[in-house]
Amino acid sequence: MTDDDIYTDALHAGQQPDPATGSRAPPIYQTTSYVFDDDEHAAELFALEDEPMAYAAAYTGKNIYSRIMNPTTMMLENRLAKLEGGIGSITTASGMSSLDLATFLLAEAGDNIVTASALYGGTYTYFTHTADRRGIEARFVDTLDYEAYEEAIDEDTAYVHAETIGNPALVTPDLDRLGEIADDHDVPLFIDNTFATPYLCNPFEYGANLIWHSTTKWIHGSGSTVGGALVDGGNFDWADSDYPEIGEDNPAYHGINFAERFGEAAFTFAARARGLRDLGNQQSPFDGWVTMQKLESLPMRMQRHCDNAMAVAEYLEDHPEVAWINYPGLESHETHDNATEYLDNGYGGMITFGLENGYEGGRQICREVELASLLANVGDAKTLIIHPASTTHQQLTEEEQVASGTTPDMVRLSVGLEATEDIVADLDQAIESAT
């Protein structure tokens, strides 16, 4: 997607004036259910014959029940699909529920997931404990060791997973290479694009097949609403691969074969008809509506996050009490070249760094900041700070912390939209007090 396309699509894609009222802003369809034309139409919708879950269903009067689809959340879904260059999307109650829904569809007991190890701590725990309880093995590989991915994949691999900008080490893998590896083994590449957002990266361009987002972060951007989304690239051959929920006659939906019936949109339809329907992890119409309002300004906000983060990173890089700094925009960053290749417009809003006085310094700076808020979130309009080792990553063993990219001294900063000099001044006084 070119820069200019995203400015228009963030405002227009997936939504038109409401056909019933002319409302220009998207209405909140706060309803559980929808009146059918007649009994025959009702039967057709349930049999998926009149395509109730199709891309444009938001306006077609083909809705059934809001656990499966809702016109307000569908507008957001259609917009996200367009921004990512996908063919369909579903929104969920949180980012984690998007991960869970995709895993439910793609993996069963005995399968494995091959994943980059630089991951959000919650994803790490989901793989090691939640997927594991269901008999699904997570195989963690060094995010940048491409041979390790090759070696870990076998005939039971359900998907290959990585983050565009891995949380919290901020490493960007060679996405093209991951796309080729997954494709060679006929498994989908599933990318968490939360830290990049569609403004910085469209992973489908590099071979990803499915994308997930925590819309809680920059897509919403004001820290008020938890949500998630799955986006379908429509570029994986489910019919010829071993994904019984999608590519075989599905007994849970009176024998429908989603791949035969819906072709490239098979995953999106299965995600609604099997995932949302049975797991009930849909996003609420109000949350979808708020997120859509905020998405309109994503390009402008994201650009400022990137510009502010670059300025803060340069300040920290020159500070004598800062022992090390990770920002993908700095030439010193391990994956600066990959980030330059795969990210457009900037390098994101996240920075990690350590102070010369290590673990204690990391905890102390969080106590000393006045403008930045100490909390467990990222991607807010306001600057946020946390010390992962004593908070978000506390439940991981030291070995797991290191594998996931956390170090005892690491401070994680989500750079907000405030005046650049105010963010720098706050850090300056906090570092001085903490050291």
Ligand X SMILES: Cc1ncc(COP(=O)(O)O)c(C=O)c1O
Q: Residue numbers of the site for ligand X (CB under 6 A)? A: 94-96, 120, 122-123, 163, 167, 192, 194-195, 214, 216, 226, 228, 378
In whole angstroms, the minimum distance from the beta carbon of 157 to ligand X comes to 21
In whole angstroms, the minimum distance from the beta carbon of 216 to ligand X comes to 4
In whole angstroms, the minimum distance from the beta carbon of 42 to ligand X comes to 35
Instruction: Specify the amino acid at residue 315.
Output: Y
Residue 242: how many CB atoms within 10 A of its CB?
Answer: 15
Dihedral (CA of 303, 308, 311, 312) sign: negative
In the complex with ligand X, the residue whose CB is nearer, 166 or 362, is 166
Three-state SS at 296: coil
In the complex with ligand X, the residue whose CB is nearer, 163 or 232, is 163
Distances (CA, A) of 89 to 227, 233, 276, 432: 13, 9, 12, 47
In whole angstroms, the minimum distance from the beta carbon of 226 to ligand X comes to 5
In the complex with ligand X, the residue whose CB is nearer, 212 or 238, is 212
In whole angstroms, the minimum distance from the beta carbon of 392 to ligand X comes to 8
In the complex with ligand X, the residue whose CB is nearer, 187 or 230, is 230
Tokens of 103: 């895993």
Helices (H), 29-84: 39-46, 71-84
In whole angstroms, the minimum distance from the beta carbon of 171 to ligand X comes to 12
Q: Point out which residues pair with 250 in neighbouring strands.
A: 256
In whole angstroms, the minimum distance from the beta carbon of 356 to ligand X comes to 27
Distance between CA 388 and CA 350 in Å, rounded?
13
Q: Which helix (H) or strand (E) holds 146?
A: helix 146-152
In the complex with ligand X, the residue whose CB is nearer, 120 or 236, is 120
Contacts (Cβ under 8 Å, ≥6 apart) of 3? 299, 344, 345
In whole angstroms, the minimum distance from the beta carbon of 59 to ligand X comes to 28
Tokens of 171: 């490493």
Phi, psi of 421 (to 5 degrees): -65, -25
Pairing of strands 350-355, 322-326: antiparallel
For ligand X, the nearest residue by Cβ is: 95
In the complex with ligand X, the residue whose CB is nearer, 77 or 368, is 77
Helices (H), 235-377: 244-247, 258-262, 266-270, 277-279, 285-295, 298-317, 336-342, 358-368
Phi, psi of 190 (to 5 degrees): -115, 115
Contacts (Cβ under 8 Å, ≥6 apart) of 391? 376
Tell me the three-class secondary structure of 227-242, residue by residue. Answer: CEEEEECCCCCCCCCC
In the complex with ligand X, the residue whose CB is nearer, 197 or 216, is 216
In whole angstroms, the minimum distance from the beta carbon of 225 to ligand X comes to 9
In the complex with ligand X, the residue whose CB is nearer, 55 or 212, is 212
End-to-end CA distance of the chain: 45
In whole angstroms, the minimum distance from the beta carbon of 158 to ligand X comes to 18
The answer to whether the bond into 203 is cis (omega within 30° of 0) is no
Instruction: Specify the amino acid at residue 73.
Output: T
In the complex with ligand X, the residue whose CB is nearer, 290 or 322, is 290
Is-contact 302 218, C-beta < 8 A? yes
In the complex with ligand X, the residue whose CB is nearer, 94 or 235, is 94
